A and B are shown apart, each in its own frame.
Chain A
Amino acid sequence: MVNKLEIDGLTHTFGGQNNVHVLDDLSLSVAEGEFVTLLGPSGSGKSTIFNLIGGLFKPDQGDIFIEGERVNGQRGHISYLPQQDSLLPWRTIEDNVVLVQEITGKVDKAAAREWLERAGLGGYGASYPDVLSGGMRQRVAFIRSLLSPQELMLLDEPFGALDELTRLDMQDWLLKIWEMDRRSVLFITHSIEEALYMSDRILILSDKPARIVREIEVPFARPRHHDITLDNTFNQLKREIYQMLKVGNQND
């Protein structure tokens, strides 16, 4: 079967005075319905990978395939959830949720309402984003990306701006909603625990230029509960990853 996302030998350098070599021969893949996490130190070029997949610019070398089609430098093939504040303040929640559909051409308000209901946001359709808390806004933004017709979801540290309690709550919520409609997800985080709790597979990035230094299959069954964070295997993996990231940093 063709992978949802296939990245092959991606290399990129930002020009300008201080040539920054961001990516070096990076390859990865995300299978249908798989939840893959990119874990790495901040500033390791994770967002550059996303911008390349999103087609904001072309890579120097390497190819990006989405459902087998080469999409280097092409936009509009992904569904995207940024870190924060991606709702348009002048649109009501419902109108925000259908924004992506407007861009791609097919608006389905009934589905929008249905998903808002399922996500526990039923009463907020006609409100403006500024009345919602940060966590609620991220829920709306996630529903919006679920409703986008593109099947590959890129989640860029979606809980990075939230406080710890909201964050744990959001992890459970997102997994629950995701189980209802299993999309292929590429997830960025710099929290080891979050990566282990959420993903099927974790790809650990080195510091710039980013390469994948290790791949970890997460052995826990779904649906998951926060209890697994107390599990021995969980802590064993957590320690391993921690060591790895530390070693990676010392090599600089």
Chain B
Amino acid sequence: MRRLSSWRLGPPIMAILLILVIWQICVSLFDMPAWMLPSPVQIIQEGIAIYPRLLGHTLSTIQIALGGFAIGVSVGILLAVALHLVPQVRQSVYPLMVLSQNIPIIALAPLLVLWFGFGDLPKILIITLVCFFPVAVSLIDGFRQTSPTLKNYMQMIGASRRQIFFKLEWPSALPYFFSGLKISATYSVMGAVIAEWLGAQEGLGVFMTLASSAFRTDQVFVAIFVIMAISLILFGFILLLEKWLVPWDTDQKEAHKDGE
């Protein structure tokens, strides 16, 4: 899996502003009805108006998204480490892991609700299911990419299996881990919304279902913007964490960029 490179803030913000401006102009130019496509200004106004009601839904979504993300990532790490340290297990479990990603969530979610009720558990399970996979796969790849020269060196100086894992394999897989983590982070918010959409009392997914069936397209867009914002903030937080925990890799990349 290739690494996702870190980005700079200026260009993407300009691009987003440009899209919003074009959008605004098109809506007024073609005189679009608000139930078909509201303008960005209308969406922002609606967002401010329904803010108190939206806040509860947003917090609820953030809560299960983060909960599911944390559990999913933990499961991903544990699986990757187990599969790496016990190769016999890898052969039998790896295909199952891939199969787990082929279960259609749309079919699974109602079943989970049927089995575990309308509480948080079925939702967290769905998010865990979509989040563990990118982390597990990228970590396993990372472990396998460990330099054979360095491994030979560690063995020659008498390092134990445990020391080789913690001093060599884990740090060398860390950049890969962060690639998986970024993908999982965006999946977690989407997973939360889909899970709520299929059965919940609160959350942005519920809010969107209600808004959409009432033809309140402006409110649907408000929810979409909020979801994007949550994903971006989570993503940004992981970038910062990566910069802090993987300085040798991120600094190097920036040095190359400056050299261009």
Contact = CB atoms under 8 A, between A and B. Distances in A.
Contact of B172 (A55, A90, A100, A154): A90
A90 B157 contact: no
Given A90-B172, A90-B174, A103 B156 contact: no
Interface in A75-96: 75-80, 82, 84-86, 88-90
Contacts of A82: 149, 152-153, 156
Contacts of A154: 156
B32 interface: no
Given A75-B158, A76-B158, A77-B158, A89 B248 contact: yes
Nearest to B174: A90
A107 to B, nearest CB: 13
B40 interface: no
Contact of A103 (B147, B149, B157): B157
A177 B150 CA distance: 24
Interface in A146-192: 148, 154
B171 interface: yes
A130 B158 contact: no
A89 B149 CA distance: 13
B158 A104 contact: yes
A128 interface: yes
B59 to A, nearest CB: 37
Contacts of B156: 50-51, 54, 56, 75, 78, 80, 82, 154
A90 B248 contact: yes
Q: Is the interface of A mostly helix, strand, loop or mixed?
A: loop
Contacts of A60: none
A155 to B, nearest CB: 12
Contacts of B113: none
A179 B130 CA distance: 60
Interface in B148-175: 149-150, 152-159, 163, 167-168, 171-172, 174
B249 to A, nearest CB: 8
Interface residues of B, number: 23
A99 interface: yes
A117 interface: no
Contact of A85 (B147, B157, B167): B147
B160 to A, nearest CB: 8
B248 A128 contact: yes
A100 B167 CA distance: 11
A56 B148 CA distance: 14
A114 interface: no
B246 interface: yes
Given A85-B149, A102-B167, A103-B163, A79 B157 contact: yes
B251 interface: yes
Interface of A: 50-51, 54-56, 75-80, 82, 84-86, 88-90, 99-100, 102-104, 128, 130, 148, 154
7 contacts: A54-B156, A56-B152, A78-B157, A86-B149, A90-B246, A104-B158, A128-B251
